[in-house]
Amino acid sequence: MSNDLSELLKNIGAEFKEAISRTSEFILEVDIGKRAKKLGYSDIAETFRDVEVVVPLKEPVQGLKVRIDGRTFVNYAQLVSGIAVPTYVAREAGLPYDTFVANDSMIRIFA
């Protein structure tokens, strides 16, 4: 499972590669379970249903914007690609990571 999870997270990082800014206050969240199902990783789709990847964006995109408390992302890990996931997900995927340091105030974009 960790290979599939690792590949899925790399895929998400690659998809948003040009839009990521590691320290941005603008974030987009991607559901790991839904993305896994869409890409055919059925073995992890249910396990990670409703678990979100945080994609910090260089600039805002179209969609509803909601200000949230950055402390929401305590115990998140930032992968080399710049996306952030709960630390247990990064460990299970076996990918290198640093602690995700969120801004005090973040703007979540519902696109």
How is 56-86 classified by DSSP, letter by letter? EESS--SSEEEEEEGGGGTTEEEETTS-EEE
Q: Rounded to two decimals, what is the model's pTM?
A: 0.91
Helical residues (DSSP H) of the chain, grouped into ranges: 2-15, 32-38, 42-45, 87-93
> What is the model's pLDDT at position 42?
87
Q: Is pLDDT at 48 greater than 90 in this prediction? A: yes
> Percent of the chain beyond pLDDT 70?
98
**Band of residue 15 on the pLDDT scale cut at 50, 70, 90:** very high
Query: Which residues are CB-neighbours of 22 under 8 A, at least 6 positions away?
Result: 56, 78, 82
> What is the model's pLDDT at position 1?
53
Query: Which residues are CB-neighbours of 39 under 8 A, at least 6 positions away?
Result: 8, 11
